[in-house]
Amino acid sequence: MMEVLLRLLVTQVILLALATSFVSCYDPNPLQDFCVAASETNRVFVNGKFCKDPKSVTANDFSYSGLNIARNTTNFLGSNVTTVDVNKIPGLNTLGVSLARLDFAQGGQNPPHIHPRATEILVVTKGKLLVGFVSSNQDNNRLFYKVLKRGDVFVFPIGLIHFQMNVRRTRAVAFAGFGSQNPGTIRIADAVFGSNPSIPQEVLAKAFQLDVKLVRFLHIVFGPPLW
């Protein structure tokens, strides 16, 4: 009798486990070799890109040239970020990776920003960079920073504010990989003081403990051109 009850119990456990696995199963990976991004379709949007007919895919859909070329850094930030995402390489669609080249003039910086959809891993190939990120409020907004030289690598967790700055008198170059085909970028100052329409000045003045006149000035600096 005990043996029969034990078998019934084991059978129920196995059935429960199978039922649970069937309910929670899903496809964590792409269901085909590739899904090269096709041209936009009018009035239809998807979370990503439409796929080309595989028969029309060529090697050019998986390639991009020019990351060996130094970029122009004669701007007020003294930096230039060349992003190679799914919009540059259609073959990245559904693959969850992308790349960027970062050029820095003397004293140039990539100001505090976030990537809402990707973790970033950065390697310095020329010069020295001061890099860092800030943890969340739950971790008391701790700053993790380090000076990187050629060959050093640093990781910026997804969604956290981070920055890079050239700390040498020569140009600096770095390359970054992202865990998304389209990581996105939100520069903090641009988003806060340059939104369209503008965040009310009273909100920003209280949030940053600033005079309303200074907030008005920052709206002019970071906002869209007035002409």
Bridge partners (DSSP) listed for residue 153: 123
Return the H-helix or E-strand segment holding 134. strand 129-134
Question: Side chain identity at 186, as an amino acid letter?
Answer: I
**Whether the Cβ atoms of residue 86 and residue 168 lie closer than 8 Å to each other:** no
Other CB atoms within a 10 A radius of the CB of residue 82 amount to 16
**Do the beta carbons of residue 144 and residue 88 sit within 8 Å?**
no
Q: 51: burial class by Cβ within 10 Å (0-12, 13-18, 19+)?
A: middle
Angle at 66 between CA 130 and CA 100, to 5 degrees: 35
Q: Any known ligand binding at 219?
A: no
d(CA 184, CA 107): 25
- Is 40 marked as a binding-site residue? no
Is residue 120 annotated as involved in ligand binding? yes
115 is in an annotated binding site: yes
* Nearest residue to 84 (alpha-carbon basis) of 63, 115, 106: 63
Annotated binding site for Mn(2+): 113, 115, 120, 162
Annotated binding site: 113, 115, 120, 162
